[in-house]
Amino acid sequence: MRLLKDLDVKFISLVKRPANRRERLILKDDGGFELFISFEKAHFSEDMVVYGVVYAPNEPDAHGDYTTPEEIKKAAWNFLKNGRVRNVDVEHTYKEAPAFVAESWLSKGNDPLFPEEPENTWIVGIRVEDEKLWEAMKRGEYKGLSLAGTARVVEKSFKYRSFAKTDWPIAPKNTPWNGKEARRRIVEKGGWELLSKCVAAVKMEGDKLPENLSDYKFPFCDVIHGKVMIVPEAIRVSKAFLNGAFEVEIDSELEEIARSVIGEIEKRMSDKKDGSKLRKFFDNFFKGGKNMEKNELKELIKEVLREIEVEKTEEQKQKQIEEKLDKIAEKLESVEKKVQEIEKSRKSKPQDQPANESETEGIV
């Protein structure tokens, strides 16, 4: 883990080379550096201005190199102070291109263009003054920005610790997932201690919990309708990271902890008693349930959902949760029999008899 200090950005270059992460840092023996930032989230305006993130604080690259909000502030201010707005080139030629830094600011959080970026992220708007270069950028020929300058590297010592709580309620399978926003919502709800229980590991340099979202690794929970819940999509994304799908190097200590925590949650998800029952119920419903009386079907679904909406607080023990799930399973068995009877009755009707539109109205 290395901290970059005293960043002095000399040039911002438009480059064509790809990167497998938004940031890829190259440190040189002479103290120089190059930092690649992808145009993946860039915004192109009608005024021929491209807006992009220059550097986000406390976000390690694939090799664990990062910098702090304070260092980013100084770098952004000095870039303007030293009159380097014309120091925009192509492919690190160090020859001024027909472009300049027209806008430069530090995000205050929830930025209009880059709402997911943390506070004190350095963002620039580069005005391009050449039509051919602009069209090439819009076609995707240029993959991003690359900073060039100097920095001082400071080695940092840290350790990973896990405070993960793996028995949170599990959200529906189709719940959307955004790791950064999920971490923010959890901190807003219960502070850093709560967040530490909702991630696989925390990167710590002492005994006090850090107050940087990026130090909380492999998040798996979000706040849904006011409750902390495990999001299945977060588990899928974490597994993909651990299995190399994103070509990102992971610290061996972190990987070992994350695999253990994610594996435990995955096993719990696969062992959920109500999962197969629910799938079977809805499979049968879509096959035969459409011929039920509308009011009867509505009441049946409400009854099942009332059983599923069980309050699971931190104080509830696993045995109590299992008892609730057993009751749900019993209820679904009776529902399944009812649906099978309907299906059998439906098959006995003439094949060309269509379903009454009023019977299915408002169900889906």
pLDDT (tens digit per residue) in 305-319: 655 554 444 445 556
- 224/345 same-domain check: no
Phi-psi region of 247 (alpha: psi -120 to 50; beta: other; left: phi over 0): left
Query: Where among 219, 252, 270 does a domain terminate?
Result: 270
Q: What's the pLDDT at 30?
A: 61
The residue assigned the tokens 């610790």 is: 161
pLDDT at 27: 57
Residues 165, 150, single domain; the answer is no
Show the domain range for 133. 2-155
Residues 49 and 143 in one domain: yes
**Domain end among 91, 123, 155:** 155
E strands, the chain, where?
Answer: 2-15, 23-27, 32-38, 43-44, 49-55, 65-66, 88-90, 99-106, 122-128, 144-155, 159-161, 199-204, 216-219, 221-224, 227-230
pLDDT for the residue numbered 197: 97
| 15 and 144 fall within a common domain | yes
Question: 169: which DSSP letter?
Answer: P
**What CA–CA distances, in Å, run from 294 to 301, 332, 338, 357?**
11, 19, 15, 10
Residues 310 and 349 in one domain: yes
- The Cα 178–Cα 71 span in angstroms is 27
pLDDT for 159 equals 86
HSE-up of 241 (CA within 13 Å, CB side)? 24
| Strand, coil or helix: 281 | helix
What's the domain count of the chain? 3
Asked whether the beta carbons of 202 and 216 are under 8 A apart, the reply is yes
Check whether residue 9 and residue 100 sit in a common domain: yes
| Per-residue confidence (pLDDT) for residue 61, from 0 to 100 | 66
> Which pLDDT does position 330 carry in this prediction?
75
Per-residue model confidence as pLDDT tens digits over 88-116: 999 888 899 999 999 999 999 889 998 88
Whether residues 128 and 46 fall in one domain? yes
> Is the domain of 69 the same as that of 195?
no
What average pLDDT values come out for the chain (364 residues) when binned by 10 residues?
A: 84 72 54 66 88 84 76 95 95 92 93 89 94 91 84 80 95 92 95 97 89 92 95 94 81 90 92 52 54 59 57 50 70 73 63 37 25
pLDDT of residue 21: 44
Eight-class DSSP state of 40 = G
Last residue of a domain, one of 270, 287, 306: 270
Instruction: Give the DSSP letter string of 72-111.
Output: HHHHHHHHHHTT-TT-EEETT--S--SEEEEEEEE--SS-
Considering the domain architecture, whether residues 41 and 128 belong to the same structural domain is answered as yes
10 Å CB burial of residue 188 (0-12, 13-18, 19+) is: exposed
Cβ neighbours of residue 102 closer than 8 Å, sequence gap 6 or more: 49, 85, 125, 126, 127
Q: Does 292 lie in the same domain as 356?
A: yes
Locate 225 and state its tokens. 């309708």
Q: Are residues 112 and 126 in the same domain?
A: yes
CB 39 within 8 Å of CB 52: yes
Q: Which amino acid, residue 95?
A: K
Residues 22 and 138 in one domain: yes
- 255-292 exposure pattern, b = at least 16 Cβ within 10 A, e = fewer: bebbbebbeebbebeeeeebeebbeebeebbeebbbbb
